[in-house]
Amino acid sequence: MTIAGKVALVTGSSRGIGAAIARELAACGAKVVVHGRDAAALEEVRASVGGLAVTGDVTSASDLAAMRAQIEETLGPVELLVANAGGNPSPPVPVDHMTEATWRATIDGNLTATFLTVQAFLPGMKRLGRGSIVTLSSAAARRAHPKSPIAYAAAKAAIELFTQDLAAQLGPFGIRANCVAPETILTERNRQRIPAALQAQMAAEHPLARLGTPEDVARATRFLISDDAAWITGVILDVAGGAVMPR
Angle, alpha carbons 215-221-226 (nearest 5°): 130
**What is the separation of C-alpha 49 from the centre of its chain, rounded to a whole number of angstroms?**
18
Residues in the chain: 247
Q: Which of 115, 121, 152, 162 is catalytic?
A: 152
Q: Which residues pair with 52 in a beta bridge?
A: 33
Look up residue 93 and give its DSSP letter: -
> CB within 8 A of 145, min separation 6: which ones?
none
- How far apart are alpha carbons 62 and 131 in whole angstroms? 22
Active-site annotation holds for 239? no
Please compute, for residue 88, the number of CA atoms within 13 A of its CA located in the half-sphere on the CB side.
Answer: 21
SS3 169: helix
Pairing type for strands 131-136 and 80-83 reads parallel
Phi, psi of 54 (to 5 degrees): -130, 155
CA-based nearest residue to 84, from 20, 146, 154: 20
Catalytic residues: 152
